[in-house]
């Protein structure tokens, strides 16, 4: 989650759901919280009962809108225009929390002279940059930051840095720029500062190149009128939102933001979150009770799957994956990836402890703690490029574990093409999902384009145990780990993931036993000896948790991450989880009822890091260490005791560091953090209004249209995010911008009644009957325009393919009026994506329609906005379908060539 990581230091929600009850105003945007997080939504209801205002900004009126005080319909994909509008409103009306902004954010830091924002006119920019964009734009500013390399389609970011620092963070080629993950993983890297101090500052916030002034210039044109033109939100409605937020922020009051995949699944998703972070920093709402940004993760353990990652480019605890050339030794790795100051200043201890956990006795100071046993990343190995590599024959096998790509991933047809190109495929799931059955049942087989005889992939379907059938943890959306105990034996030969991975590892180790080939050395050295129990040799999940939580050389458990050492005397599988087995107790299994402890409930499960619930909570006190107000008291400095106090949470700050502490010359690590700086993961301890490094598409969020959009960018010459990751392939065709063959905006989403790609819900009778069929939500106006009849069938078409769904004509979807000269209407169409060909509730998969086009920062697809056509009636069958879609492609002039520069 680099949006939050670059802004605040850690890639996780800054607060927890229970804290929403303390909010005075809650803005839910990019999230349908009542439907997707109904249990957590009780805290929004609680806040509302206490008098909070609840605002829902969303293209559709959903179950969340129904509970809100105000629903603001917005044109899909224009969130940055809206949030930038909020930032401008706050700045131009002096509604920011100035004392907070001055001391706790980098507003006062002066940026390099060479920095130029997207407001530059085409003439101001070097000839090599975006001249084409400028000429196409008719006098609009370029929309590009300084450093744009039109030929390479990437930014060199050395002009984005703090004035007086060296700019050594420029990436190499485009692929490397995305993959040198030191810059990407959490934004903490690449800025090395003496004593943690930015070299040039202006605490009056008046220097023209200080972040505060850059911000004002950057958002100057994001006026309420512009918001109305771009987003379709009437001015008075926008101003009401802005006023509610401003009125409910400051010393006495706090506002919270809630988002989910409605913000992330865009070609500018990370910048959506950056925009929200800027607004919340300006309003002084981070690190305070009732404030913060609540990132709602997609389902039960998504947060856990990035903390101890299933991602290719980070190691546990957001440590970057080593680079093949730049980091030949542990020392150079630490040098390259750990700034000297802040909590990342101790990267050597985190990394050494991780290597000790993995390689045990074999890891010694002499062999660099087996650092060179770690694989290196040489390119972009995220999921979509990997699927393409399968088609190209470069990737031969795949484990799909709890993943149903032919329903859940963009461009489902391409996903099947990739799976068909494999030599082998292992699918582990609760039921036979479409990813396991595509070889005998798929739209291509239905259309006669392929047959089981033509698919050579050897497929192994292995039934999995469900969470009630095994021990383990869930890490929920707020970084809270909760232990679940095995309640029932799994049926027949269903096994847990832990069982599968452990025994697979055993067999691989047995295979290479006795080998002297150096390539087998890491496998021989890796520790792989968890105790097992029962007739099926189920590994002990608590033993794994103990390894994650860490031990000292004498076998005692690590209490907190500050105990980790770089000399090999500690082993810890994930530094952010250090202390999870503190005092020999499984901290995640604590289940003291909320009625028996304070409202923070610190004895219910365990939140990383160090059971901290509100992060950066030093910011809940003023620079002198006093609470900003009694009403919002959370953490404060006690001069008598010489330490920080709190209402019951862990303090996210060195416990005895006084507010007036100033680092000495040459101070490093946490010693280089001033007593006033709450964002201790950042090398300067500040909240980053401006992100000098960490993102590939700019230090500030900028409004771009989605890759497929019916309109031009009203603000800039650059239409869509210039760094977006495209796949210009015949099997992944895109719609031309503004195509009237695909005139409507389509958004995919989920329903309460089903679970993601349906593997856990379409097969269950009680859930299947609640939403038995795929439907498409359209406004009465669009229904009339296209002759769609309620509850009848409709066909939804993109250049990828066509699918059919039942028609839901509803006032909850409204056409948007945008632009002013002249105004035009944009119709939006809603499509839940849970359905597939298997299970009880069957239907076409919405992701058949979606193309692969990604946010380069995180390689996430733009599921939330694409263009489409909608027609009454069922879709054609068999070869007729192929011809039908081909007709659309021809009429739309769909091209497969690389995009034009400046588009």
Partner 1 sequence: MGYSLPTTAWPSSYGEHARARKGFFTDTSVCIGCKACEVACKEWNDVPARNGAQPAYFTGESYDNTIDLGADTWRHVAFVEQRKALDVDDGMGMSLAEAAALEGMARSEGLATYQDGEGMRWLMASDVCKHCTHAACLEVCPTGSLFRTEFGTVVVQEDICNGCGYCVPACPFGVLDQRQDDGRVWKCTLCYDRLKDDKEPACAQACPTNSIQYGDLDELRERADERLQQLTDAGLEQARLYGADDQDGVGGFGAFFLLLDEPEAYHLPPDPVDTTRDLGGIYRATAAAAVALVAGLTAAVLGGRR
| Residue 232 in contact with partner 1, rule: CB under 8 A | yes
| Residue 260 in contact with partner 1, rule: CB under 8 A | no
Name which of 753 and 903 has its Cβ closer to partner 1: 753
Please pick, from the candidates 193, 398, 498, 751, the single residue that binds partner 1 as defined by CB under 8 A. 751
581 secondary structure, DSSP code: T
Contacts of residue 713, defined as CB under 8 A and 6 or more positions apart, other chains included, come to 140, 143, 703, 704, 705, 719, 720
Name which of 702 and 838 has its Cβ closer to partner 1: 838
- Distance in Å, CB of 821 to partner 1, minimum: 18
- Distance in Å, CB of 841 to partner 1, minimum: 8
Name which of 45 and 447 has its Cβ closer to partner 1: 45
- Distance in Å, CB of 56 to partner 1, minimum: 9
Name which of 64 and 341 has its Cβ closer to partner 1: 64
Please pick, from the candidates 10, 71, 268, 719, the single residue that binds partner 1 as defined by CB under 8 A. 71
User: Which H helix or E strand runs over 690?
Assistant: none
Name which of 61 and 115 has its Cβ closer to partner 1: 61
| Residue 772 in contact with partner 1, rule: CB under 8 A | yes
- Distance in Å, CB of 101 to partner 1, minimum: 31
Name which of 63 and 506 has its Cβ closer to partner 1: 63
- Calpha distance 540→517 (Å, rounded): 31
Please pick, from the candidates 73, 262, 304, 722, the single residue that binds partner 1 as defined by CB under 8 A. 73
Contacts of residue 31, defined as CB under 8 A and 6 or more positions apart, other chains included, come to 37, 64, 258, 259, 260, 261, 262, 263, 296
Query: What is the pattern of x (binds partner 1, CB under 8 A) and - over residues 29-68?
Result: -----xx--xx-xx--x---------------x-xxxxxx
| Residue 247 in contact with partner 1, rule: CB under 8 A | no
- Calpha distance 13→369 (Å, rounded): 33
| Residue 70 in contact with partner 1, rule: CB under 8 A | yes
- What part of residues 514-533 is at the interface with partner 1 (CB under 8 A)? none
| Residue 773 in contact with partner 1, rule: CB under 8 A | yes
- Distance in Å, CB of 290 to partner 1, minimum: 19
Dig out the tokens for 622 from the structure. 């003023």
- Distance in Å, CB of 243 to partner 1, minimum: 13
Q: Which residue stretch of 158-166, 195-203, 229-237, 674-682 sits at the interface with partner 1 (rule: CB under 8 A)?
A: 229-237
- Distance in Å, CB of 742 to partner 1, minimum: 25
Q: What is the three-state SS of 30-70? A: CCCHHHHCCCCCHHHHHHHHCCCEEEEECCECCHHHHHCCE
- Give which of 539, 511, 398 is closest to 460, Cα–Cα: 398
| Residue 791 in contact with partner 1, rule: CB under 8 A | yes
Enumerate the β-bridge partners of residue 130: none
- Distance in Å, CB of 748 to partner 1, minimum: 17
Q: Evaluate whether 355 touches 679 at the Cβ level (below 8 Å).
A: no
900 secondary structure, DSSP code: P
- Other beta carbons within 10 angstroms of residue 151's beta carbon come to 7
- Calpha distance 669→663 (Å, rounded): 10
Give the sign of the dihedral formed by CA 386, CA 379, CA 296, CA 411: negative
299 secondary structure, DSSP code: S
- Distance in Å, CB of 618 to partner 1, minimum: 33
- What part of residues 809-868 is at the interface with partner 1 (CB under 8 A)? 810-812, 814, 817, 840
- Distance in Å, CB of 47 to partner 1, minimum: 12
- Distance in Å, CB of 220 to partner 1, minimum: 25
Please pick, from the candidates 25, 29, 72, 273, the single residue that binds partner 1 as defined by CB under 8 A. 72
Residue 593, burial from CB neighbour count under 10 angstroms (0-12, 13-18, 19+): exposed
Enumerate the β-bridge partners of residue 210: 110
- Calpha distance 668→194 (Å, rounded): 8
- What part of residues 319-338 is at the interface with partner 1 (CB under 8 A)? none
Buried b (16+ CB within 10 A) or exposed e, 50-87: eebbbbbbbbbbbbbbebbeebbbbbbbbbbbbbbbbb
> Which residues sit at the interface with partner 1, rule CB under 8 A?
34-35, 38-39, 41-42, 45, 61, 63-73, 232-234, 237, 751-753, 765-773, 775, 790-791, 806, 808, 810-812, 814, 817, 840
């Amino acid at each position: 989650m680099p949006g939050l990581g670059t802004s605040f230091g850690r890639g996780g929600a800054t607060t927890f759901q229970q804290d929403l009850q303390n909010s005075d105003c809650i803005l839910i945007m990019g999230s349908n919280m009542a439907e997707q997080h109904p249990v957590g939504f009780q805290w929004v209801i609680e806040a509302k009962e206490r008098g909070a205002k609840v605002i829902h900004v969303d293209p559709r009126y959903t179950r969340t809108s129904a509970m809100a005080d105000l629903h603001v319909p917005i044109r899909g994909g224009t969130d940055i225009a809206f949030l930038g509008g909020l930032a401008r409103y706050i700045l131009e009306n002096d509604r920011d929390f100035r004392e907070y902004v001055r001391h706790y954010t980098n507003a006062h830091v002066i940026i390099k002279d060479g920095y130029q924002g997207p407001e530059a006119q085409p003439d101001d920019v070097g000839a090599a940059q975006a001249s084409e964009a400028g000429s196409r734009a008719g006098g609009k500013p370029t929309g590009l930051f300084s450093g744009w390399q039109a030929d390479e389609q990437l930014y060199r970011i050395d002009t984005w840095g703090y004035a007086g620092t060296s700019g050594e963070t420029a990436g190499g080629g485009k692929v490397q720029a995305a993959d040198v993950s030191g810059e990407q993983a959490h934004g903490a890297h690449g800025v090395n500062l003496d004593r943690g101090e930015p070299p040039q500052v202006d605490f009056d916030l008046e220097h023209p190149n200080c972040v505060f002034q850059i911000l004002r210039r950057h958002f100057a044109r994001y006026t309420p009128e512009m918001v109305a033109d771009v987003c379709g939100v009437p001015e008075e409605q926008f101003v009401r939102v802005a006023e509610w937020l401003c009125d409910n922020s400051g010393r006495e009051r706090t506002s919270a933001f809630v988002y989910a995949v409605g913000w992330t699944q865009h070609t500018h998703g990370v910048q959506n979150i950056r925009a929200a972070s800027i607004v919340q920093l300006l309003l002084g709402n981070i690190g305070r009770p009732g404030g913060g940004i609540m990132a709602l993760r997609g389902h039960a353990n998504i947060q856990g799957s990035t903390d101890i990652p299933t991602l290719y480019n980070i190691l546990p605890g957001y440590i970057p994956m080593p680079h093949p050339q730049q980091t030949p030794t542990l020392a150079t790795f630490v040098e390259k990836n750990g700034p000297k100051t802040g909590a990342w200043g101790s990267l050597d201890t985190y990394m050494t402890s991780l290597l000790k956990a993995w390689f045990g006795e074999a890891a010694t100071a002499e062999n660099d703690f087996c650092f060179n046993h770690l694989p290196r990343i040489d390119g972009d190995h995220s999921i979509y490029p990997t699927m393409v590599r399968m088609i190209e024959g470069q990737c031969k096998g795949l484990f799909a574990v709890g993943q149903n790509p032919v329903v859940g991933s963009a461009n489902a047809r391409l996903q099947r093409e990739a799976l068909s190109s494999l030599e082998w495929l292992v699918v582990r799931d609760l039921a036979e999902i479409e990813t396991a059955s595509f070889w005998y049942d798929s739209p291509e087989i239905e259309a006669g384009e392929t047959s089981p005889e033509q698919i050579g992939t050897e497929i192994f379907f292995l039934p999995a145990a469900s969470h009630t059938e095994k021990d383990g943890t869930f890490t929920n959306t707020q970084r809270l780990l909760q232990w679940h105990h095995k309640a029932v034996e799994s049926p027949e030969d269903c096994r847990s993931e832990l069982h599968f991975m452990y025994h697979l590892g055993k067999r691989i180790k047995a295979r290479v036993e006795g080998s002297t080939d150096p390539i087998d050395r890491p496998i021989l050295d890796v520790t792989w000896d968890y105790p097992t129990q029962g007739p099926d040799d189920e590994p002990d999940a608590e033993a794994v948790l103990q390894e994650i939580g860490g031990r000292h050389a004498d076998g005692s458990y690590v209490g907190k991450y500050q105990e980790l050492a770089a000399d090999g005397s500690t082993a810890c599988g994930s530094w952010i989880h250090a202390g999870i087995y503190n005092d020999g107790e499984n901290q995640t299994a604590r289940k003291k009822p909320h009625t028996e402890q304070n409202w923070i409930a610190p004895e219910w499960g365990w939140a990383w890091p160090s059971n901290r619930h509100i992060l950066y909570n030093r910011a809940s006190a003023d620079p002198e260490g006093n609470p900003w107000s009694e009403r919002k008291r959370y953490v404060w400095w006690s001069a008598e005791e010489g330490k920080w106090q709190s209402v019951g949470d862990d303090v996210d700050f060195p416990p005895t560091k006084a507010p007036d502490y100033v680092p000495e010359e040459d101070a490093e690590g946490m010693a280089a953090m001033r007593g006033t700086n709450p964002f201790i993961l950042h090398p300067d301890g500040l909240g980053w209004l401006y992100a000098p490094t960490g993102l590939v598409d700019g230090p500030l969020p900028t409004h771009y249209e989605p890759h497929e959009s019916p309109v031009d960018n009203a603000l800039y010459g650059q239409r869509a995010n210039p760094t977006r990751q495209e796949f210009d392939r015949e099997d992944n065709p895109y719609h031309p911008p503004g195509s009237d063959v695909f005139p409507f905006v389509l958004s995919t989403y989920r329903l309460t009644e089903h679970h993601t790609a349906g593997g856990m819900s379409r097969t269950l009778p009680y859930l299947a009957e609640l939403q038995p069929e795929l439907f498409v939500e359209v406004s009465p106006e669009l229904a009339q325009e296209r002759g769609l009849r309620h509850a009848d069938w409709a066909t939804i078409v993109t250049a990828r393919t066509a699918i059919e769904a039942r028609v839901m004509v509803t006032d909850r979807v409204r056409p948007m009026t945008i632009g002013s000269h002249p105004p035009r209407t944009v119709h939006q169409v809603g499509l839940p994506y849970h359905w597939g060909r298997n299970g009880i509730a069957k239907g076409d998969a919405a992701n058949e329609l979606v193309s692969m086009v990604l946010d380069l920062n995180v390689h996430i697809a733009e599921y939330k906005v694409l263009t489409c056509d909608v027609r009454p009636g069922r879709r054609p069958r068999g070869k007729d379908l192929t011809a039908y879609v081909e007709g659309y492609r021809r009429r739309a002039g769909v091209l497969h060539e690389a995009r034009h520069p400046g588009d």
